[in-house]
Amino acid sequence: MSYHALEPVPLYGPDFAADPHAVYAKLRQGGPVAKVEIAPGLPAFLVLSYQAALDLLRDTDTWSKNPSVWQETVPKDSPILPMLQYRPNVLFNDGAEHARLRSVITDSFSLIEPHDLRRRTIEASDMLLRNFAERGTVDLVTEYARPLPLVLFNALFGMPDHHSPQLIRTIAGMMEATEPDEAIAAGAEFEQYVLELVTLKSEKRGPDLTSWFMDHPAGLSLEEVIHQIVLTMAAGHEPTTNLTSNALSRMLSNPDYYSTLSGGALTPRDAVNDVLRNEPPMANYSAHYPRHNVRFHGTWIHANQLVLVSYAAANTEPQTGTGLPGAAALGGPHEPAGMRTGAAPSDGGSHLAWSAGPHACPVKQPALLIAVTAIERLANQLCDIQLTVPRAELEWRAGPFHRALAHLPASFTPLTPDQAGVTPWTSSSRTRRHATSPATAGPA
């Protein structure tokens, strides 16, 4: 019997989180499109093959990003709605409206100079390092990779530094809430943060993303500005956290990487490329809905049904080509062996970690720079850092969309503020703070 004929396979829960590639391998037995469940009783189709993924992502005549019809079929309290329900932002719109909203984000990010982003990332890294450097132990997910993009966004969107703990607290509150009341309270606090930000920038513009969103020739309304800020922070936070922490987990558990801390062969950039291919931070997403009934790579799909693309499965689809040494060396449960033909370890080769087509990540280069810089900074400051739990025993967060470590415990020789040489206490203060770009700059 083909696997296709069985009940939809759950993409939630501990089994999938523990070994997603085993699930993708079984699903592939039924063909390039599989039936899955993304929450109890909530079905979706999952595209597993690289070619089928590209066909879908590029065919905007057949596929829409707008979930409005589909979401009417979903219980209002479904846990997946926050990721999938319609909002007037770049992710859920098609065509001209999508292009209009997207131009605001791409134009505004293009105003951030790479050297300035690098400097700000180093400052954010050092700020976090100072919280645990004296301790000699750290959870690299909760104390470094997860807060880091938020410290950075707080600055890039133009909020004073003392607001970053508020942003970190509200996002952690939304992610870690165990009761609906807690999640609602954290959500309200996040809303308050964004309102304060927009009020601040309405009164006085600065060289920051919020001001550039407001002044963009696309002419966003205030409500649209708020939606683009929320989306950009949400779209940027989780995958950047996962890219950083998944790469750190690989570096700190593979001697080929580990020796790089004292001059070995593989670099943080290699670790990042390894993750992009084999463990993409966004594992399954790209929610699309057919505009009409369609037969897609052998499967009939009704209009407005939910179809997700598995970037993780497409990237690791078994090929006739050779494997990637970095991945194979790591092992672990069902570490994918098949790689796309022609893949080069140095540049990551062809993969879909950033998606493809009109909705591909518009902030790819800045995101890469942030993750690589954050890893380099940590490795430079804590040069004997090592994991305290073997990688194979690390806990992954359950959920269909992200490949996300729950924790990444590590230890190192403690640093002290009065230590000779460069430390997180002395190094950042030597970099002079200046604006992201000239105060008068704005999207043309």
Q: Given candidates 21, 120, 359, 377, which one binds ligand HEM under the rule CB under 6 A?
A: 359
Identify whether the C-beta of residue 360 lies closer than 8 Å to the C-beta of residue 354: yes
Token pair of 399 as six digits: 């959920």
Q: Given candidates 67, 173, 281, 326, which one binds ligand HEM under the rule CB under 6 A?
A: 281
The answer to whether 146 contacts ligand HEM (rule: CB under 6 A) is: no
Helices (H), ranges, 218-343: 222-251, 255-258, 268-278, 311-315, 325-330
Q: Given candidates 207, 239, 332, 349, which one binds ligand HEM under the rule CB under 6 A?
A: 239
User: Does an H or E element contain 149, and which?
Assistant: helix 147-156
The answer to whether 385 contacts ligand HEM (rule: CB under 6 A) is: no
Q: Given candidates 354, 382, 404, 415, which one binds ligand HEM under the rule CB under 6 A?
A: 354
The answer to whether 285 contacts ligand HEM (rule: CB under 6 A) is: yes
Tokens 């497409």, residue?
Answer: 314
Identify whether the C-beta of residue 112 lies closer than 8 Å to the C-beta of residue 437: yes
- Measured from the CB atom, is 296 or 401 closer to ligand HEM? 401
The answer to whether 373 contacts ligand HEM (rule: CB under 6 A) is: no
Please state the φ and ψ torsions of residue 230, each to the nearest 5 degrees.
Answer: -60, -45
- Measured from the CB atom, is 133 or 272 closer to ligand HEM? 272
Q: How many residues bind ligand HEM (CB under 6 A)?
A: 27
Would you tell me how many other CB atoms lie within 10 Å of the CB of residue 322?
12
CA-nearest of 47, 157, 133 to 149 is: 157
Q: Could you give the string, one character per residue 98-127, with x where binding to ligand HEM holds by CB under 6 A and - elsewhere?
A: ----x--x----------------------
Tokens 């605001």, residue?
Answer: 104
- Measured from the CB atom, is 353 or 415 closer to ligand HEM? 353
Using CB under 6 A, which residues numbered 68 to 97 contact ligand HEM?
Answer: 90-91
Please state the φ and ψ torsions of residue 275, each to the nearest 5 degrees.
Answer: -65, -45
Q: How far apart are CA 315 and CA 321, in angstroms?
A: 13
Tokens 């470094």, residue?
Answer: 144
- Measured from the CB atom, is 378 or 415 closer to ligand HEM? 378
The residue ranges that bind ligand HEM (CB under 6 A) are 90-91, 102, 105, 231-232, 235-236, 239-240, 243, 276, 280-282, 285-286, 353-355, 359, 361-363, 366-367, 370
